[in-house]
Amino acid sequence: MKGVPVAALGVAAIWLACAGCTSIGPGTVARDRLDYSVAVGDSWKSQMLLNLVKIRYADAPVFLEVGQIVAGYSFPRSFGAAAAVNQTDGTPVITSSAGLSAGATFNDSPTVTYAPMSGERFARSLMTPIPPAVLLNIIQAGNPVEEVFRTSVQSVNGIDNRRVGRLFVRRANPEFYALLPSLERLQSSGDIGMRLQQGEGEPKLQMIFRPRTAAAEESALRHVAQLLGLDSSAREYQVIYGTVASHDREIALLTRSIYEILVDIASYISVPEAHVAEKRVRPTAEGDIGPSGAIPPLIRIGSSAEPPVDPFVAVPYQGYWFYIDNRDIPSKQIFSSIMFLFTFVETRSNEAAPILTIPTTR
């Protein structure tokens, strides 16, 4: 009987030793990395859509970046043991007692750091026009040239894209929409490329068309040259940032800033008629007209009084829900491209931004 308390204490000692050697960190990596990635991605989409809606309603957009996520775990354990042995004098009766107590708590306490985009960083990231080389790189990577030009180019050799201001929406020149199918044809055939030519000063950016192409591509190239006022016999054209080309072997791209892109995308949002009647927001502008008729909207962002059933992304604002339908693939592609472009041109300044750190516990 005396061995019972001793055995119990031995088991407890082994339990404490094993518990002290257990590590909970590695097992959380696979789960937490995926969970945090999904959470940050979903919040990023919601923030982008909310800012588009706010721009549509003449509200100020606010971009809050998730700067850091620090996962913290603790596994406090407690153990107690008691034993008593009593022997009655003069008799062979032995009484013994033993008691054990143990407890453990798992705590998950991540710390999330947020950094508002402001000051010089805001100006550089949102207000600076996108360099033409960035757009050509995106096209070279396989993104549709029509998508890139409609979202990010304000004019090419003086041919204007749709322009959105605070009080107006000006339609694009019909030639702008006539240009896009020919550029798409050359892109899909692989007959369009780019090159950086090193020389004195800054490198020169060139758009290159393959010298030997099929008849359809040759016709598309002549059409592009005619619309842009280019030398149709040339196959290399210098690309510059600007409104008007200085000669017939130059392509002038007036690119948009990220903020201009967001303003243009926001103008496509279908707002509730009740808000228009209450003068909270201006009515949605009519669509553009191209050579073949009405041009479909670049993106479809709807609104409803009730939460949407299957949204790709949805946010509430002023009593309504604004959303992109999960079955609207073109709109999803445009929205994702804008988010990608935002990160592509985002730059960091040396100025320390205000930081708000919130520890979250569960």
Within a domain: residue 128? yes
Lowest-confidence pick of 68-77, 113-122, 171-180? 68-77
The two structure tokens encoding residue 185: 């044809």
CA pair distance 147, 89, nearest whole angstrom: 98
Residues 6 or more apart whose Cβ sits within 8 Å of residue 23: none
Within a domain: residue 274? yes
Lowest-confidence pick of 24-38, 39-53, 94-108, 183-197? 94-108
Sequence-ordered alpha helix ranges (H) in the chain: 3-21, 25-56, 119-122, 132-140, 145-152, 174-188, 215-228, 258-266, 273-277, 329-345
DSSP 290: E
What is the H or E stretch that residue 207 is in?
strand 204-209
* Whole-number average pLDDT of the chain: 81
pLDDT, tens only, 215-259: 888 888 899 999 999 998 888 899 999 999 999 999 999 999 999
Going by pLDDT thresholds of 50, 70 and 90, the confidence category of residue 13 is low
Which whole number is the average pLDDT over 98-115?
68
pLDDT number for residue 3: 47
Within a domain: residue 282? yes
The reported pTM is: 0.78
Residues 6 or more apart whose Cβ sits within 8 Å of residue 155: 161, 176, 243, 252, 253, 254
pLDDT, tens only, 274-287: 999 999 999 988 88
CA pair distance 344, 137, nearest whole angstrom: 11
Within a domain: residue 157? yes
Going by pLDDT thresholds of 50, 70 and 90, the confidence category of residue 176 is very high
Q: How many domains does the chain have?
A: 1
CA 122, 68, 127: angle at the middle one, nearest 5?
Answer: 10
Q: φ and ψ at 248, to 5 degrees?
A: -85, 10
More confident residue, 335 or 98: 335
The two structure tokens encoding residue 18: 């094993």
Within a domain: residue 42? no
Range of the domain at 153: 116-351
Residue with tokens 């979202």: 151
pLDDT number for residue 1: 47
Is residue 345 within 8 A of residue 323, CB to CB? The reply is no
Is residue 147 within 8 A of residue 337, CB to CB? The reply is yes
pLDDT at residue 82 tops 70: no
pLDDT number for residue 47: 94
DSSP 308-347: -SSEEEEEEETTEEEEEETT-HHHHHHHHHHHHHHHHH--
pLDDT at residue 70 tops 70: yes
Within a domain: residue 68? no
